[in-house]
Amino acid sequence: MMENPKLSLLGQADTGLARGVCGLLGGLKHLTLWLLGLTGLAGCFGLIFEYGEGLADISLHEWGFMLLLVALTWRHVHYSRRFGYGFWRGLARWLGAQGIVFGIGLIALGLIVWLSLEFLGHAKFLNELDLVGKEGDVQGLALALLAMYLGAPTRPRKAAHASPEATSIRREPTLSSSPDKEVSL
């Protein structure tokens, strides 16, 4: 295997700066997804308790949502433990999946608004859309459950650095100098 030549001081500063900026942007991406996920979950519970009457406010499909949410949360925790994710990594997957689904929903809503204003020239079409009806609530809750289902780990987490025992070393065959020893491979 050929080794990389040592970088100059300017090259090291350049690669370090690029690595730092990429790390910062990756962290901002994850933070944004987590905040979107929290916002989406808060919106789901805002839909459920919209009238402020406690348990009397909950309809049958909202009870179903909460029961499925508990079951999917248990599934997520079980798979996170099984596949070696810690609490924070499991929570990050959960919130990230919620954030992605909520972000896709916001983009779809923005496209609907943009297309209706662009091609119709007015917002009359938006008044005809029933975005606050029961079907919209069920769709929003179903998307949150879908994100919960898809956010669970499905395979063991990759180790950041492979252990020396895990890496295989190719050994070249050697010939022994004594005539009574065999050739080892």
The pLDDT tens digits of the residues spanning 80-93 come to 999 999 888 888 99
Q: Token pair 């433990």 is at which residue?
A: 81
pLDDT interval class at 161 (50, 70, 90): very low
* Phi/psi at 118 (5° precision): -75, -50
* Phi/psi at 44 (5° precision): -65, -45
Our CA dihedral for 49, 53, 56, 62, rounded to 10 degrees, sits at 0
How many helices and strands (H and E) does the chain possess?
Answer: 5, 0
Written as six digits, the tokens of 175 are 């010939």
Q: Token pair 């979107």 is at which residue?
A: 36
Residues 92-131 pLDDT 10s: 999 999 999 999 988 988 888 888 777 776 666 666 665 5
Our CA dihedral for 44, 47, 51, 52, rounded to 10 degrees, sits at 0
pLDDT of residue 124: 66
Sign of CA dihedral 38, 43, 44, 48: positive
Rounded Cα distance, 75 and 141, in Å: 18
CA atoms within a 13 Å half-sphere pointing along the CA-CB vector of 105: 24
Residue ranges per structural domain of the chain? 26-49+57-150
Percent residues over pLDDT 90 in the chain: 34
91: closest CA among 145, 143, 30, 139?
30
pLDDT exceeds cutoff 60 at 162: no
Asked if 72 contacts 145 with a C-beta cutoff of 8 angstroms, the reply is yes
Strands (E), the chain: none
Asked if 91 contacts 81 with a C-beta cutoff of 8 angstroms, the reply is no
pLDDT of residue 39: 92
Written as six digits, the tokens of 59 are 């309809």
What is the mean pLDDT of the segment spanning 41-48?
87
